[in-house]
Amino acid sequence: MPKPTCPKFAIILLTTIILSGVYFAVPRHARTETKCASQDYFEDHYDECSSLIKTTSKKLEDVRNQKNSINQQIQNYLSTLTVTDAQIADLKTKIQQVQAQLTEIEKNLNNRKGSLEEKTLIRNKIVRSFYQMGRANPVEILFAIEEGENSGQDFVMRDIFEDTVAEEVIKQIISLNMEIKSFESDKEEAGKLRADLEESQKTLLSLKADIDRKKAEAQNQYTELEKKSQSYEETIAKLSALQQSVLAAKSGSESGSVGDYEPPKAALPSPKFSPAFVAISYGAYTHYKGMSQYGAKGRAEDGKDYKDILKFYYNTGVKKVNDFPSKISVSGYGKLDFQYYLYGIAEMPSSWPSDALKAQAIAARTYAYAYAKSGKTICTTQACQVFSSSKAKTPPSAWEKAVDDTKSVVLDGSVTAYYSATTGGYIESIGWDVKGSWPNGAYEKRAGSPWFYKAWYTKSYNDSSTCGRSDPYLTEEEMADILNAIVVWEKGNSTDRGKVTPFTTSCWGGSPYSKDKMKDRAGDLGTAYSDISSVDVEIGNNGQTIYAKFSTDQGNVSIKGDTFKTVFNLRAPGYISIKDRLYEVVKK
């Protein structure tokens, strides 16, 4: 009996070599995705090109995550006015980068599509050929064995080989089917991501327009407030000597820094009566410029290094000066060695984080550097920056290290290195100093500044005089008296205005209107207040209290923030005062 012919063996073997032979090939040199676009190259280097293909889904996942991150940033920016042009540009760049990645992925998918089309044709031919061919049945095998031992063994061996080859072909058909399915899924995902990114681009443009509009509105509002502020300054300049003294003592208009020792924290005491009204300042003794010292402490505690801290507060980097002056002229001490002078800077507790100390050392060095270069003499008080000769002689090790580690390093550019203890979480030309939202996210609050959210009723931290007031609370009658004083202040004549001073004459002197007289005069001028049911404030995006709002027996009344602060400080009894332009009024 002749040996059975087996054409399917040749076909299966040939197609297996075409499709699966590359599994056993070891790439000998680096190949690019462009080369994998070639069918011949793809077949000869299946492992290499298949590996590139398998990364597509991972790349798409990365793009999807980046796209989601961009959209989250956009949503965050939509709710704030502190977005800068640089942040908008950075977000635009991110979108362009993600789009470029997506373009590369789509290019790879197109290459993959060409390869899959060729391989799909081969797969279909294999499937048709495979199932059109028969297999040797047991009778044929038996006859083959009867013909002779060798021929029977050959027949059986061929049949076993065909089984193995067929199984391999089936595996590759399944693999190819999965690859086709993956391709279709990746292509659909890439198209969706492309559409989502285009939508993100539109939203970003809308955000930019909205931010520009809001910034313009804020700038107009700021300009208007500047004009009004100038008007009030002119008015205050015309006040009596007593009134000017009261405002100078209560307003906290002078700038100040932490000092060498951290001041004790002061919790808001509980009121002894109800209802009780209290004015709470978010900062004190600040010019709202440059670095917040408690903000620097909070940022350092949050893991920011000194360069990050300075970059935020001064919007610039640092540089090392090669021609640094060796001496500086110091008031009362003559010319001192510059490094020795810096050892004596008493502006930040040495127990604070090292990166906060380094930021302070560089800010202090930059401030003094300008004096040294100009040949001017620098003062030793907070009017310049505090210098202590005793500290210079025996500097604390942490402060000495901060000065030494940053030797000759100053802020880059023409920067005046202003700094103050607590700004209330807002700094001019920079914006909100927060992680999250204000006020709870303010770095100054996180760092535990005793000036952040403080009700003032003592003369100062250094002077605990209270003028007979043991807490910062006002009764309803006293709060109504403040509102009546505002009516008199705004509508009365110069004599009336001169009577708006604290009714606690034992420590302030003068001849103010009594509470009853102030109420009567306010009634004469149109409105007199007796009862206050609620109070609220409106905080502006410019870091100021825009309005103080009250619900009263005369209806709702809104008072401009600067007006309320001025009259409150002029009229509030004892040393009760508002120290900051950013404040809150609370009813308890």
Residues 332 and 249 in one domain: no
Per-residue pLDDT at 349 exceeds 60 = yes
In contact, 577 and 568? CB cutoff 8 Å:
yes
Q: Is residue 77 part of a domain?
A: yes
Query: Distance between CA 127 and CA 152 in Å, rounded?
Result: 29
Q: What is the mean pLDDT of the chain?
A: 80
Residues 216 and 247 in one domain: no
Least confident piece of the model among 118-132, 303-317, 473-487, 560-574: 118-132
Q: Per-residue pLDDT tens for 169-180?
A: 566 666 666 666
Q: Is residue 564 part of a domain?
A: yes
Q: Is residue 172 part of a domain?
A: yes
Residues 11 and 67 in one domain: yes
Residue 562: closest CA among 106, 214, 253, 199: 253
Query: Distance between CA 366 and CA 364 in Å, rounded?
Result: 5
Give the residue, 282 or 8, on which the prediction is more confident: 282
Per-residue pLDDT at 277 exceeds 70 = yes
Q: Per-residue pLDDT tens for 49-84?
A: 555 555 666 676 777 777 677 767 676 666 554 566
Residues 505 and 558 in one domain: yes
* Cβ partners under 8 Å of residue 440, min gap 6: none
Residues 276 and 310 in one domain: no
pTM of the entire predicted model? 0.60
Domain boundary among 428, 446, 464: 446
CB neighbours of residue 141 within 10 Å: 15
Range 342-357 average pLDDT: 97
Per-residue pLDDT at 30 exceeds 50 = no
Total of domains in the chain = 3
Q: Which pairs with CB-CB distance under 8 Å and at least 24 residues apart come from 502-509?
A: 502/246, 502/570, 502/571, 502/572, 502/573, 502/574, 503/571, 503/573, 504/467, 504/468, 504/469, 504/573, 504/574, 506/467, 506/468, 507/465, 507/467, 507/468, 507/574, 508/242, 508/246, 508/467, 509/242
Domain boundary among 394, 412, 446: 446
Residue 400 corresponds to which tokens in the numbers above? 């000495």
Domain boundary among 430, 446, 462: 446
Q: Per-residue pLDDT tens for 500-509?
A: 999 999 999 9
Least confident piece of the model among 142-151, 215-224, 430-439, 572-581: 142-151
Query: Distance between CA 380 and CA 345 in Å, rounded?
Result: 9
Least confident piece of the model among 85-94, 175-184, 443-452: 175-184
Q: Per-residue pLDDT tens for 333-347?
A: 999 999 999 999 999
Query: Which of 93-131 are b and which e, b meaning 16 or more Cβ less than 10 Å from the residue's Cβ?
Result: ebbeebbebbeebbebbebbeebbeebeebbeebeebbe
Residues 307 and 161 in one domain: no
512 pLDDT band, cuts 50/70/90, is very high
Per-residue pLDDT at 471 exceeds 50 = yes
Q: Is residue 229 part of a domain?
A: no
Residues 435 and 505 in one domain: no
Per-residue pLDDT at 559 exceeds 50 = yes
E runs forming strands in 419-523: 419-420, 426-427, 431-432
Query: Distance between CA 340 and CA 326 in Å, rounded?
Result: 10
pLDDT at 171: 60
- φ/ψ (deg, to 5) at 577: -160, 165
Residues 464 and 440 in one domain: no
Residues 381 and 408 in one domain: yes
Range 351-375 average pLDDT: 96
Q: Is residue 231 part of a domain?
A: no
Per-residue pLDDT at 34 exceeds 60 = no
Asked, as a colleague might, if the bond just before 439 is cis with ω within 30 of 0, I would say yes
Q: Is residue 544 part of a domain?
A: yes
Residue 550: its H or E element? strand 545-552
Residues 62 and 28 in one domain: yes
Residues 178 and 250 in one domain: no
Range of the domain at 421: 291-446
Q: What is the DSSP string of 453-472?
A: TB-B-SS-SS----TT-SSS
Cβ-in-10-Å burial (0-12, 13-18, 19+) of 485 comes to buried
Per-residue pLDDT at 244 exceeds 80 = yes
Per-residue pLDDT at 138 exceeds 60 = no
Q: Per-residue pLDDT tens for 197-224?
A: 777 777 777 777 766 676 666 566 556 6
Q: Is residue 205 part of a domain?
A: yes
Give the residue, 81 or 553, on which the prediction is more confident: 553
Residues 19 and 129 in one domain: yes
Q: Is residue 2 part of a domain?
A: no
